[in-house]
Structure formats: structure tokens, C-alpha cells
A and B are shown apart, each in its own frame.
Chain A
Amino acid sequence: MSTNRHPIEQEELMAYLDGELPADQATEALSHLELCPECQALAADFRDISQDLMAWEVEVPEADISLEIKNAFAERFQPHEAVKVSWPRLKNGVITSRWLWAGALAIICVAVGLAFLFTGRNRNEDRSTTYPSMASIEQYLMPDRDAEIALARSAAPESISNDAKVLVLEWRGYETAVEGKNGFVCMVERSWMSPLNSAQFWNPKVRVPVCFNPAAAQSILPLTIKRTEMVLAGLSKAQMIDSIKAAYDNKELPAPEPGAMCYMMSRAGYLNDTLGHYVPHLMFYFPLTDKSSWGADLPDSPVTLNPQFQGGPEPITEFVISVGKWSDGTVAPAM
């Protein structure tokens, strides 16, 4: 791939597919990938190779090979006296079995190496090929409306969520299931609120209960609604990126209001295949902010940067502070 025609190198494309690119590069790669058939084909090839490698297993050797290897093994480690006794066999074909043995060892080494490689690469993100595209909408919906309401409310302590508005996801988007009176809005976000380059973007198992405070309901919730609308309309990620950028440019989507934050304290949530329930936490939204100015992600710092919008089209920085208890008052495990 020439950099004259493509903004990303093959290595970067592979890194992108493995979720290893920094967010800004990933967004660039994604944008290009959506529009470049050549790169799409290449990405498909990479995915196939990757899948083949992941699926590949060392076959159980056939019985006669086992015997040959066994013999070779026995010869290799026999006392010298015994070697002398068996030496004539070498001339009768054991050399071949030794080659087989060496070959098998090489294959095992390569397989183990690849396994480590891919395990390491995917420690923080599942395979990008696990959820390559949107599942059917049914898989994202919760058939039990009351269960979704309860899950949404579980994002915050009862003193907040009892009086909050509750939204639930329906076929055509989020709808108000319960009117609120304290300005907070609780809902269950789906996977498409993940970073746009996340391997979990289409994971239908994701359920993220969240309660936005009034400032976030005004300035962050519209983004959730918009992303959901775009997903249900079948837009590609590149189209979503363009649309979000345009929406911020023309003020259709607002900047985070001062004090915009949310509660995410549900023990019943499922953030993704890696994080599971995660830990109860609060999130605070700001216009783009350098994380170093907060001391976020430094060793022992209680503040972390949420990568949700990092490098994405949303001009939002999100800081996370974990808290000690789930919304039901039970003590959470240490982070």
C-alpha cells in the first residue's frame, strides 16, 4: 500500500484490526477503510489469516508418526551404549523421523509463539472479527421493558434514579418509558456507544446502565440518541463520523455543559467482554482536555481517562472516578 494513495500502512492496518492503534490513528484508519475497496480487501485477507491462525490447532499425530517420534525420542535420550545398539536403525530411515520430529517441534514453537502473540494483542480487546458488523436489532433490544427500566435505574442510587426519567430502546430508537422529575435521565446504552474503532462496537451483549445528571442530559444524551439513530438507520461508521463531526460543527450537538456527569454504579451492567460489570464509577464530561492536566492515568491516580470519545469525532473528554459501592449499597471490589 502506498502512502501516496492510502493514509495508513499495512502494518497500521493490521494494528487497527487488532485494536492496537491510538484512537486518532484508528479513526483515520477507519475513515479510510470505509471508503477504500482495496484496503477492505486487504483487511478481509488479514482477518481471514488471523482467523485461520486462531482456529489452527496442532493435529494429533497419526499412530505411526507417534511411533517414529517415540523411537527417535528414545534414541535421542538413550545412554550411549544403547545408541550404539540402535545406530543401525538410523541408516534405515530414522533420519526421516528425526526430520519429522524437528519439523513437529518447529510447528509447535511457531504455534505457541503465534498463540502468545495473539493472546497478547488481544488482552484488552477481543478479536475485531468477533463482532464484525451489526447483529439483528432484536439482539440489542431487551424484550422485557420492565427489566430494562430496572436495569437503567440501577445505574444510580435510588435517591437519584427513583425520580429520574427512564428511556428504553425500541425498534426505532429510545423512547421515554417513565417521566422523571429531578432532571436526571437513566437508560441502558448499547455497544455503539463504544469507541468507533472498538472491537465491541457491535457486541449485542453490551448493556451499559447510565444515569445522566441534568447537565449531561442536555449535552451528552443527545449524542447517545444521535448515535442510536444513525445505527438504526444503517449508516456506516464513516458516515457516522462525518455526521457527528457536522453535528458538532453546526451546533446540532452541544458541547458538554459545566457539571455534566453521569452515574454508572450498576452491578448488573455488562460493559463489554473484557470489562464485564467493571466497577461502580462516576464519569465527568469536559470539552477536549489534556489528561495530564488532571493527572489522569498516572500511577495511583484515582482518575482515569475514558477512551470512549478519545480521538473520535466528539470533542469530549471523559474522566472516570471509581466509587466504593454499587448503587444498591453493596461494597464493590477494589479496582
Chain B
Amino acid sequence: MNKKSFWTKPGFVSLLSSLICIVIGMAVGFLVLLALGGSKAYTDGFRQILLGGFYMKPSGIGKEIVAAAPLIMCGLSVAFAFKTGLFNIGAAGQYTLGAFGGLAFAILLNAPWWVCLIIATIAGAIWGAIPGIFKAYLNVNEVITSIMFNWIGLYGCNTIMYGRGSGAMYNPKQSKTFAVTGSSLIPSKIFGWDMAKTFSYSSCTIAIFMAIIVAIILYIILNKTTFGYELKACGSNKNAARYAGINEKKNIILSMLIAGALAGFGAGLFYLSGGAQWIPGDSTALPSEGFDGISVALLASSNPIGAIFSALFISHITTGGGFMNASLFPPEIADIISGIIIYLCAFSLLFRSAIMKLLTGHRKPEETKPENPPKGGKPAGKERA
């Protein structure tokens, strides 16, 4: 039997390949900055991206933490679906529904924050389950369904919130929804420590800890329970799973439902912390957290614990991007970096086998688990994209 060394474990190899993606992505970002700002590329742009929130201590760190919580959740949402062989590109729509549900209960009913959070989760879960049902019973690929329902959700929620300018949740003076107040806000104190005060950033709440706890729970579900095993079995080989007596349809729907719930929970964490107010008039842009979740999941190779760190990284560079000298460098440069990282992650298998070759001389990892992304094509090409 082969002795397993730490250096050739699949986990370590994926970590290395993610780091390669990050380094290349950052390098391209730096080149873009060079092209735009020449000699100022480092001092006015790249330094801010590298430092992230630490560029403006302590409020920048607070901002980074606030943005990281929904990213962790969206990353988990995408990662969880990946494990079942599904690509949840609909996190953005589920996030929208979560925000809508949470805000409705917070603004209209002034319900306690945990009630609003549960509502946000349920709203996201419903929106996630729909593509699952379409996939399981009607054989429509979840990617297309999720994309369509992203837009349907966005237009629908905005119509209700805006209500021709007189919606109950809409504050015409600011063209945003009303601010969440009182007991509907997630507390910022934990064991007597006031996070908002430490980081002098008022929306810095215990949301980040809730996100981390959920990540750990998911890790346990996926790796230590029968349910998690069944889900992964469906992802690895649908036909083998069915042969083994696993109800594949049920698992597809459940997996999408949970993925949706995670994204909705993330939206709740962000909006109930007062991270921002929803802008219903802006009905052309889906929330970016949902798509950043894809980068988070891919960078983490769908590992829930890894998602915590990759979300912090994405939040780090986006926050840093906001601190760049805006007259020279548009903050969207951070999005370019994360876009390139996803692009590279798409063929990270190539990096992995190259790393393995360097480390051991063999091309294949010791344990070949067909994890994220669901291997190349769809089995037998029966279903429709």
C-alpha cells in the first residue's frame, strides 16, 4: 500500500492549484493597472487591492468582514450544489428572494432578527427548489432554469418593493428600501465584545460567525452523514447512485433547496446587519454576491471550510478595489481579477495534474475523487442544456 504523504494529498494539491489561479489572476490585474495608470499602478491601485480592508483600519476591516458573510454563504450555496453535480448559477436570484423576504419582515412587521433570517432562508430555499424540480421532473438543465429565475425573481421582487414608487417598503426620499432598525437588526455584540465599536463600522455584526458556523455544519453533513454521502454519490455518478437505491430525484431537489436556503440566509445576514439598503429602482443588475459565490466555491474546490477563506479573499480584493484611486482605476478591476480566477478554475484539473507530476512524477492524484465541477460533460448527454 502506498504511504500517503501530506504533499500529495488531493486537498493540498487543490490548495496549490487555487493559489496558482489567484497568483495569475492578480498578475493580470496588475497588468491592467499598469496599462491604465503606468507608474501609479502600484501606489494608487495594486497596493490597495493587496491591503484590502487593512488599507483603512479599522473601518475597512469591518467592511471586509460584513461583505465576507454573504459571500461565504453564496459560496457554500454554489459549492453544495457542485457536490451533487449541479451548477447553481442561480445564487443571485435566491439571494434576491432572501433579501426580499428578510427585509419585508424586518421593515413591515419589525419582527425580531432571527425570525427575519428564517424567512430569508425559506424564501431562498423556495427559489432554489424550483430549478431542482425542473431538473428532476422536466429534464431542463438547472443552469438555464436558474438564470431565467434569477431575472424573474429580480423583476418580481423589485416590482413589489417599488410598487410604482409608493411601495410600503420603499423610501422615495432615498430611492432605497427603508433602513432596518431596532430588534430586526442582527446584534453586533458577542460575549460582551462590541464588534461594531472595535471596527467603527456599524453594520459589523455577529453575521460572520453565523456564516462560519453554517460552513462547519455543512462540512459535517457532507462528510459524516448518510445524507451527505447520498448527495455526493448522485454527483459522482447519477446512474450508480440510482442503482444503489438512492432516490436521485429527491436528492436533486433537496440539494437545490438547501443551496437556495444558504444563499437566502446569506442575503439575510447582509441586509439585516444593515450592510446596505436594497435599491428596487435598479432592476437591471443582479446582486453580485451570487456570482462571486461561484468564484468562492471554485477557489475552495467546493470544500465548505475552504469557502470561508476564499470568501475572505474575494471580499479582501473587492474591498481593496473600492479604495483605489477612482479617477485612475475603476473599482471593477477587482471583478476582472475574480472573473479571471473563475476562468482559470474552469481548467484547474490541468493545474492539479501538473502539480502532481511535479511532486511525485505520476500524473494522477492518489485519490481521484470527481469532486467539483461535475466532471466535464453530462452523463450520456441525455439532458438538455
Interaction A to B: no
Spell out A's residues near B (CB within 8 Å): none
Binding site for A on B (CB under 8 A): none
